[in-house]
Structure 1
Amino acid sequence: MGQGNKGLSVWGLTMLALGTVVGGSFFLGSSVAIRAAGPSVLLSYVIGGILVYFILSALSEMTVANPVAGSFRTYTEQAFGRGAGFTVGWVYWTGLVLAMSSEATAVSILLRGWFPALPLALLGSGIIVGVTLLNLLGAKRLSKLESGLAAFKLLAIVAFVLIAVALIVGLGTRGAGPVGLGVARGQSLMPGGIAGIAGSMLMVMFTYAGFEVLGLAASETGNPGITIPRAIRYTIVLLVGLYLAAITALFLLLPPARVSEQISPFVSALSLYGLGWTGTVMNIVLVSAILSTMLASVFGLGRMLRSLAEEGHTPEWMRDRTDIPFRGILISGAAMLAGLWMGMLLPQGVYLFLVSSGGFSLLFSYVIIMASHYRLRKRHGSPLTGQHGLRGYPYTSWIAIVSLVAILASMPLIPGQGGGLAAGVMFVVLFSGIYALGVMRKTREPAGFRRQPFQVPAIMAQMEAAEELEGKKEQDTMNE
């Protein structure tokens, strides 16, 4: 079997990315963005799609040049040093662990509607154990499961668009009032102006978040130079196309004033036309969407922890020596369980403060991806792959970095997100301090007690070759 047939395929990688991205934040959280921007949220989704394209193009260029399991954490270390790599890796891992523990709570609440006798803690723990054990099956088997779940979510979006089209042409409206252009005529295109679009960008970026799993999975593809760029193109086209189609259909069925942040806007739109049964269907879609996101996130968490361990940023016992990072996956699953139980024990305000850092950790990682690419590209002097890299560099790099920093700075303007910014900054300071203390401790140790630096195989091979050559010279001298 040739190398190109090994590991994750283009389609498997695309579905893994879509499985991570398309989650509860779109099916439920998009209502926040719609309330802020009205129909102009379509422009927000286009802007978000362009930013994702810039970030994925930069990540793709670095990944094809160096397809390592650590992905953006490793590239950060190459660009800015070990301290930056340590901090970014642990901020990302911690934020995502807390975010996924809250996702387990959310899906438990949905499931308890069908199983009211089961306690939330038991349901949540069972879900976390399940997604952790499934990840131990390996990337290829997991990608097949993810492909099924992702396809189900995408079909749900397509089904909504088709139902909307049927209602717009007059099928099944049951005299419910204006449909299509009749609804659109009564709407202001930009009710919140530019401020509304800016205020919606945070939630829009959250609906796109998770695509960085493409980089974390790069080391498990057979031919990264072909597989990664194709998977990125498919992911961008499918994501932006489906999101824009679904939101456009939504505005042709439901006035923004009737969108509630407490219920999925898709359920509200269909219920308006006598399709109340869609509430149950949407709950099934939401459960599968969240489970799919958790599966793919644990996949990324295990690879991130393995990368940290391989660089000596964790205790030695955390290092995996197999293709599947069993220890990284199990430790991540245990941390999610701890996060779930912490949510049961801590006051709600404190827990939400910590959990909301998950959004910060993702956006922070995207800023670092762009900054690392800019630094490495500037150092290299040309595209890292020797082919076409990020289009419009360095201007697109500056645009993406400034836009992402502005979105991060807007977090306090969104109810409930100010704590995420504060908690995220707290984690950055915390892990930066831990690394600095570790460096100080090592510098104070006697030279004889310092650990020897890790020798990469190439260096070891050179040393062995030199020793062999020296031995051969001695033998020749003796023979003479």
Structure 2
Amino acid sequence: MERQKKGLSVWGLTMLTLGTVVGGSFFLGSSVAIRAAGPSVLIAYAIGGVLVYLILSALSEMTVANPVSGSFRMYTEQAFGRGAGFVVGWVYWTGLILAMSSEATAVSFLLRVWFPGLSLGLFGTLIIVGVTLLNLLGAQRLSKLESGLAAVKLLAIAAFIILAVVIIAGLGQAFSGPAGLPAGQSREWMPGGISGIAGSMLMVMFTYAGFEVLGLAASETGNPSVTIPKAIRNTVVLLVGLYITAILALSMLLPRSRVSEDVSPFVSALSLYGLGWTGTVMNIVLVSAILSTMLASVFGLGRMLRSLADEGHTPGWMRDRTDIPYRGILVSGGAMLAALALGLLLPQGIYLFLVSSGGFSLLFAYGLILASHYRLRKRHGGPLVRQHGMRGYPYTSWLAIASLIAIIASMPLIPGQGGGLAAGMLLVVLFTTLYAVRGRTRQRGEIDTTAKTRLQRTSLLPVQPEYAHAEMSEELTAEQRRE
């Protein structure tokens, strides 16, 4: 009961999730989506928001029924077997490691503008070591730091929206007359047509990526059946609302021809109206945004590695016996340092090929969240919990799965993304092969009986809330014994 009182709150979990999602991919990467679709990118962001809601609804239903540490990896294992859980866990972990090492490189480039004498390698190493050590402080302390960094990002978006309204209304001294509306009226709404919207969906989903950390943090909450649904509702409302409003303001202020993939569209828009000094401010926001994303991602990486270790999918020494997965966090930090070194040593084209697989890994995980939910709910013949079932099932499940498959299939059609699809598929093949080889070399008597017993106990997600509470209490009691 004491741990329930000290668990992550609704607001803490919401800010941790927003801290993961709102990062450099939105402040800088959204320019790719805007160039592809023009003002109609708003449709892409609305579609992406619906997909996020459906994926989180499926994850919420499974999480409330069974709030295990491994989240979607465990649910995939319950639905499709140990092999599927092994593959999705390692594909997700590896893809996110590569993606976060590239984020460290991006921060290094930004910081070197102010400290040109220091090398990229030193900056990247210090950043990775810093976010790794901060994660060792635990979920509660990390959530406070993450809340502060997330607040900076959200306030920056809100400030941009306010400035955009002021500019559009023709107020202030930096411009004359209503600037935004006439410019918006002179632009084509869908310059790229339907294909432009389709081409922007991949980057749009990248800007939404990271919300799955909400499920990975479920075991850190005091009352998952209340906290998780409320945190999901807050996340979707804040995230989709701010994103769409900010993109609407951008589409009115900034012509598509002035959008550059090398400069944040927010900086370009404000500079166009005599507010060039915002470039320095936006760089500070970008640094805090990427650091916030890395902090929350390492949080999820440590929990994912602990889940893999608990099920016997890693060497035995990786198993943690404490609430904070120290070994999982440290191993993840070490892997990020190795990936950073890889990026500095190998030719840029090869590294970009590897890093782009991170996007595929996330979409792959989202697809399996939906597929696992569909199979587990079909197996039970009804909602996994009474009050938090996914709306519109099974039609919404089919729609979301088909949409994710379409986005993945469109990757080769977008310049620079075909390599990501190939690299991601190679990761799936690699870990599938490793699991098969591993299964053949191990004797049946050597199979982790603890992991097997745990899987049998949770092979069917509980339907009754009372059973879910009993499962959670059992896990807490087991953890207390280990301590």
TM-score between both structures, scaled by the size of structure 1: 0.93
Paired letter, 1:213: V
> What code does the residue aligned with 1:84 have?
A
- 1:178, distance to aligned residue in structure 2 (A): 5.6
The residue type paired with residue 186 of structure 1 is: S
Mapped to 2, the partners of 1:121 and 1:261 lie a distance apart of 24
Matches within 5 A, 1:245-394: 245-394=245-394
Equivalent positions of 1:3-402 (< 5 A) are 4-172=4-172, 174-175=174-175, 179-402=179-402
**What displacement does 1:457 show?**
8.3
1:256-311, CA deviations, whole angstroms, 9 ceiling, x for partnerless residues?
22111111111011001111111101100000000000000000000000000000
Q: How far 1:220 sits from its partner (Å)?
A: 0.3
**Amino acid corresponding to residue 193 of structure 1 in structure 2:** G
Deviates more, 1:341-350 or 1:124-133: 341-350
Contact 2:99 2:355 in 1 (8 A): yes
Cα distance in structure 2, aligned partners of 1:341 and 1:221: 36
Maintained 8 Å contact 2:170/2:177 = no
Unaligned runs of 5+ in 2: 458-483
Please give the alpha-carbon distance, in whole angstroms, between the structure 2 residues aligned to 1:108 and 1:188: 37
Is contact 2:60–2:388 with CA below 8 Å preserved after alignment?
Answer: no
Quick one: which amino acid aligns to residue 124 of structure 2? G
Alpha-carbon offset, residue 386 of structure 1: 2.7
Q: Shift in Å at residue 174 of structure 1? A: 3.5
Distance 2:5 2:448 in 1: 39
1:193, distance to aligned residue in structure 2 (A): 1.2
Contact 1:156 1:285 in 2 (8 A): yes
Tell me: CA distance 1:2–1:439, structure 2 relative to 1, closer, same or farther (3 Å): closer
Q: Identity of aligned pairs, percent?
A: 77
Q: Which runs of 5+ in 1 are unaligned?
A: 461-480
Query: What amino acid maps onto 2:48 in structure 1?
Result: G
Query: Separation in 2 of the partners of 1:194 and 1:207?
Result: 20
Match of 1:450 in 2: 446
Larger Rg: 1
Q: CA deviation at 1:147?
A: 0.1
How far apart are the structure 2 equivalents of 1:138 and 1:146?
12
CA distance in 2, matches of 1:425, 1:199: 20
Q: Is the 8 A contact 2:357 2:421 kept in 1?
A: yes
Q: 1:268 to 1:459 in 2, by over 3 A?
A: closer
Q: Which residue of 2 aligns with 1:471?
A: none
What does the per-residue CA deviation read over 1:91-133, in whole Å, with 9 as the maximum and x for residues that have no partner? 0000000100010000000000001111110000000000000
Separation in 2 of the partners of 1:458 and 1:367?
22
Distance 1:288 1:213 in 2: 19
More displaced, 325-334 or 377-386?
Answer: 377-386
Higher mean alpha-carbon deviation, 187-196 vs 102-111, is at 187-196
Q: Is contact 2:168–2:179 with CA below 8 Å preserved after alignment? A: yes
- One-letter amino acid of the counterpart of residue 237, structure 2: V
Q: Which residue matches 1:472?
A: none
Deviation at 1:4, TM superposition (A): 4.9
- Contact 2:19 2:293 (8 Å CA) reproduced: yes
CA contact (8 A) 2:3 2:222 kept: yes
Q: Are positions 1:426 and 2:426 aligned together?
A: yes
Shift of 1:180: 2.1
Partners of 1:24 and 1:41 in 2: CA distance: 18
Instruction: Give, as a single letter, the amino acid of the residue that structure 1 aligns with 2:251.
Output: F
Q: Deviations over 1:51-83 (max 9, x none)?
A: 000000000000000001100000000000000
How far 1:412 moved relative to its partner? 1.4
User: By how many angstroms is 1:250 displaced?
Assistant: 1.1
The answer (yes or no) to whether the contact 1:3–1:223 under 8 Å persists in 2 is no
Q: CA deviation at 1:219?
A: 0.2
Match of 1:438 in 2: 438
**One-letter code aligned to 1:378:** K
SS in structure 2 opposite 1:252? Answer: helix
In the alignment, the residues of structure 2 paired with residue 186 and residue 178 of structure 1 have an alpha-carbon distance, to the nearest angstrom, of 14
1:416 is aligned to 416
Question: Which deviates more from structure 2 when the two are superposed, residues 153-162 or residues 241-250?
Answer: 241-250
**How far is the alpha carbon of 1:414 from its aligned partner?**
1.8
Contact 1:183/1:251 (<8 A) preserved: no
The residue type equivalent to 1:417 in the other structure is: Q
* Distance in structure 2 (CA, Å) of the matches to 1:66 and 1:131: 29
Counterpart CA distance in 2 for 1:320 and 1:59 is: 25
Specify whether residues 172 and 427 from structure 1 end up closer, same or farther in structure 2 by C-alpha distance, changes over 3 A only.
Answer: same
CA distance in 1, matches of 2:342, 2:455: 45
Q: TM-score, normalised by structure 2?
A: 0.92
Q: Which moved more, 1:3-12 or 1:358-367?
A: 3-12
CA pair 188-458 structure 1, distance change in 2 beyond 3 A? closer
Partners of 2:154 and 2:139 lie apart in 1 by 21
Deviation at residue 388 of structure 1 after TM alignment: 3.9
Which amino acid is 1:435 matched to? Y
**Contact in 2 for aligned 1:176/1:273 (Cα 8 Å):** no
Partner Cα distance (1:252, 1:177) in 2: 14
SS of alignment partner, residue 233 of structure 1: helix
Moved more, 384-393 or 269-278: 384-393
Q: Determine if contact 1:112/1:118 at 8 Å carries over to the other structure.
A: yes
Q: Is the 8 A contact 2:170 2:176 kept in 1?
A: no
Q: Distance in 1 between matches of 2:455 and 2:287?
A: 48
The whole-number CA distance in structure 2 between the counterparts of 1:100 and 1:62 is: 27
* Matched residue, 1:466: none
Q: CA deviation at 1:23?
A: 0.3
Matched to 2:165, the amino acid is V
2:169–2:178 Cα contact (<8 Å) kept: no
Aligned counterpart, 1:463: none
Counterparts of 2:87 and 2:455, CA distance in 1: 28
- Determine helix, strand or coil for the equivalent of 2:254: coil
Give the partner amino acid of 1:255. P
| Distance (whole Å) between structure 2 residues aligned to residue 404 and residue 265 of structure 1 | 26
In the other structure, the counterpart of 1:476 is none
Distance in 2 of aligned mates of 1:350 and 1:299: 28
1:176, 1:284 → 2: CA distance?
A: 29
Inter-partner Cα distance in structure 2 for 1:368 and 1:87: 11
